[in-house]
Amino acid sequence: MTELLDSLVPAPAAGRYAAFVAAVFASSVLSSALGIGGYALLPLFVGFYGAKSGVALITVYFLFQNCAKLLLTWHHVDFALAGRLIAWALPGALLGGVLLVVVPAHVFQRVLGAGVLAMVIVPRLRRRRGAAPQAPARTGFALFALAYGVASGALGSGNVLKGPFLTSLGVVKERYIGTYALTSCALNVPKLLVYRGGGVAPGTLLASAWPLLLVSLAGTYAGTRLLRHIPPAWFERVSNAVFVVAALAMLVVPT
C-alpha cells in the first residue's frame, strides 16, 4: 500500500494523501447512509487540493459516484425531464466552469466560501417557510436550470438547487435517483474539459484521482449496509457546523 501511495504522490505527502482518502471514505459512508448531499465533501477537497483544483477533483468523484447510481437505476430515469434539464443547464455549467478558470484564486476562494454557506443556509430557509414549492412554469424551468448549471460549474455541485427542484416536480424514489444521476453525469464531463483546458486540473492531477472510484463504490456500499440506523438529524447538525467553519475559513483566510 505504501508503494502505491508513493507512486501517486511524492513522499512524505503519501501519508497525507492516505489520510485524505480515509476521510473521503468516512464522509462517503456517512453521506450514503444519511442522505447528506455530496457537497459535504467540498471543504475536504478544497483543503487538500486548493480552491480551484479541489472543485475539479470533487467533480471527478461525483462523476464516479453518479455513474454507479445510474447503472443501478437506468430503467427508472425520466429521460424527457432529464433532457430538458440538461439542455438548459449545460450552457450555465460551461459558463460557471469558465468563471472558475478566470477568476483569481483568492477571489474564487471567497466566492466558494460564500457558496458553501449558501448550501447550508438555503435548504433551512426553505424548510422554515414550510410551503410546498410549486412546479415552475416553462420560463421558470429554464432560468432555474441555468442557475443550477452555473452553480454546478463554478462550485463543483449545484445539487442543493437541483434536489428540491426535482422533488417539486414530483420526481421521487428510483426515478429521482436515476434522473438526478444522469443530469449530473451529463454536466460533469464538459465541466472537466473546461477545467482541464483552463489549466485548473492538469491531466496528471485528474489521472491521480482514480482511487476515488474505489472510495465511491466502497463508501456507498458500506454506508447503505452499515449505517442506516444513525439518526440523520444528529449528523446533519454536526456536519453543517463543520461546513460553516470551513466556509468562514475560506472567506477570511488567504490562499
C-alpha cell at 185: 453525469
Q: How confident is the model at residue 114 (pLDDT cuts 50, 70, 90)?
A: confident
High-pLDDT (> 90) share of the chain, %: 7
pTM of the model: 0.69
- Over the stretch 116-172, which tens digit does the pLDDT of each residue have? 677 667 666 766 666 555 545 556 788 888 888 888 888 777 766 677 677 767 787
Please give the C-alpha separations between residue 210 and each of 57, 109, 140, 166, 193, in angstroms, as whole numbers: 10, 25, 38, 30, 17
Sequence ranges of the domains in the chain? 2-252
- Over the stretch 174-188, which tens digit does the pLDDT of each residue have? 788 788 889 989 998
- Over the stretch 10-46, which tens digit does the pLDDT of each residue have? 444 677 888 888 888 887 776 666 545 566 677 778 7
CB atoms within 10 A of CB 248: 13
Per-residue pLDDT for 213 more than 70? yes
Identify whether the C-beta of residue 209 lies closer than 8 Å to the C-beta of residue 57.
yes
What φ, ψ does residue 191 adopt, rounded to 5°?
Answer: -60, -45
To the nearest 10°, report the CA torsion of 93, 35, 200, 148. 10
Alpha carbons 226 and 228: distance in angstroms, whole number: 6
Alpha carbons 46 and 119: distance in angstroms, whole number: 15
Q: How confident is the model at residue 2 (pLDDT cuts 50, 70, 90)?
A: very low
